[in-house]
Structure 1
Amino acid sequence: MRKSLLVTLSAGTAAAGIAFLLWGEVVSGRASVRNLERGRSGARRTVLVLGYGNRGPRANAVNRYRVRAGLRTVRSVDDLLIFSGGAVRGPEPEAVVLARYPVDQGYPGQILLEAESRSTEENIRNSIPLLEDAEEIAIVSNALHAERARGLLRARRPDLALRLIRADDYRFGEIPVIKAVSAALALLERRRNRADPAAR
């Protein structure tokens, strides 16, 4: 009976884990397209990739994912790729670490760096001068973080926000744990803001 109970508990834990990951997929999938249009044919696209804390010179798994999503979002070498992030957890700015990854793989397009930011708010504020001439703007991160960044751009520069389009930063089954954890954190933040509106 004890063995049967352990099997039941193990199966229940596995089912809960799978449900958590699937919930993260649904929440992230919705966030990646909410209030966004697809890009226009022939429009020059500016792709802003937000950095994540990186301790060493080699891009960590999260940053490699973000760069790959940014490269998927770029359509041609005429598009502009911007990496944003300062030296938050390591000696090198996140933007430099991010940019090194596609350059080492032979990416031929134009890259600009914003290497001072230490928060998502600063990512957006400091990148705005680089977005002024964009015909289309795609912000790349994990889907929920990118959605938060788009909200910051809408609040600060609604004129630029009108140029926002979907990024290719959501694919089913990709980074499932990060998606689920991000969804849980976003839910907790919304509940905290409802309980304490002054904290927004």
Structure 2
Amino acid sequence: MRAWTLPAAGIALLVWGEWLNRRWSRTVVKADLGDSRAVVVLGYRNPSESINLINRWRVRAGLRSVGTGAGSDTVVVFSGGSVGGGTAEARLMAAYARSALHFEGRILIEDQSRTTWENITNVLPLLEDAQRIAIASQPAHALKARAYLRRQRPDLADRLVRADDYRPGEWTLLKPLLAAYGLWTLRGLTGAERRQ
């Protein structure tokens, strides 16, 4: 084996992880038009009473997705029940947004969901008035949620826009693992749902 083979394979793996996560973040979304925006932030299993690393990152990605100059009709919806025990993920994320990130915008909490399907089902009533809907999570998970929204409410799916949950170089070393896990979690989607 040549000396450059292993480093080249490592670089190719990193590029593949970046490419796939970028692609997923831009799938099943429309042009970002409209005034009122709802940003849905999906929770991740949180077994303790303090917010975990993944949920902290998802909150930051969600707040980045609000954008600059957001109007008073913009809302951030934190979604997630008490999957790992203790306080509901949505409540931990909302508290983190307020206390650690000093977010002063409008927040709604959906704290009953235990699965991604339930996340979408339970936030639908909170999204009716939004002209734009962004779903913030890891790109594969957000794509799955957008596909679920399309299945449950195709009329709202036309309002889906990209969240700011993919940035080049962010989580780079983990992106190949996230891509591999994402491929596994997206296996239940149709090919069309993964490409639109």
| TM bin (shorter chain) | 0.7 to 0.9
Q: Choose 177-186 or 114-123, whichever is displaced more.
A: 177-186
- Aligned pairs for 1:147-162 within 5 A: 147-162=143-158
Q: How far apart are the structure 2 equivalents of 1:150 and 1:177?
A: 26
Contact 2:30 2:159 in 1 (8 A): no
CA spacing shift, 1:51–1:148, aligned 2, 3 Å: same
Q: Which amino acid aligns with 1:84?
A: S
Task: Identify which of 97, 104, 115 aligns with 1:102.
Answer: 97
Give the Å deviation of 1:21: 2.2
Of the two, which has the highest radius of gyration?
Answer: 1
Partner of residue 36 from structure 1, selected from 24, 29, 38: 29
Unpaired runs of 5+ residues, structure 2, are 191-196
| RCO comparison, higher one (Cα < 8 Å, 6+) | 2
CA 1:16/1:166 → structure 2, altered by over 3 Å: closer, same or farther?
Answer: same
% same residue? 47
For 1:86 and 1:188, locate their aligned partners in 2 and report how far apart those are by CA, in whole Å: 23
C-alpha RMSD of the superposition: 2.3
- Offset at residue 177 of structure 1 (A): 4.2
1:135 correspondence with 2:131: yes
CA distance in 2, matches of 1:84, 1:160: 18
TM-score (ref. length: structure 1): 0.84
| CA 1:46–1:57: 2 relative to 1, 3 Å | same
Structure 1 residues 193 and 125, CA, compared in 2 at 3 Å: closer, same or farther? closer
- More deviation in 173-182 or 27-36? 173-182
Which residue among 6, 14, 19 is the counterpart of 1:21?
Answer: 14
In the comparison of the two structures, how many residue pairs are matched? 186
Worse overlay, 30-39 or 166-175: 30-39
1:94 partner letter: E
Say if 1:121 and 1:152, in contact at 8 Å, map to a contact too.
yes
What displacement does 1:17 show?
3.3
Question: Which residue number in structure 1 is paired with residue 194 of structure 2?
Answer: none
Matched, 1:186 2:178: no
Counterparts in 2 of 1:62 and 1:14: CA distance versus 1, 3 Å: farther
CA displacement, residues 119-155 of structure 1 (integer Å, 9 cap, x when unaligned): 1111111111111111110001011110110000001
Cα 1:193–1:35, aligned 2, differ >3 Å: closer, same or farther?
closer
Secondary structure at 1:138 match in 2: strand
C-alpha offsets along residues 38-89 of structure 1, whole Å, 9 cap, x if unaligned? 322x611000000011122322211111111111111325210000001111
TM-score, length-scaled by structure 2: 0.85
Corresponding residue of 2:160: 164
Aligned residue in 1 for 2:140: 144
Deviation at 1:185, TM superposition (A): 2.4
> Which residue of 1 is the match for residue 193 of structure 2?
none
Deviation at 1:180, TM superposition (A): 2.0
Read off the aligned partner of 1:63 and give its amino acid letter.
N
Equivalent in the alignment of 2:46: 54
Cα separation, partners in 2 of 1:14 and 1:55, compared to 1, 3 Å: farther
Verify: 1:90 aligned to 2:85, yes or no: yes
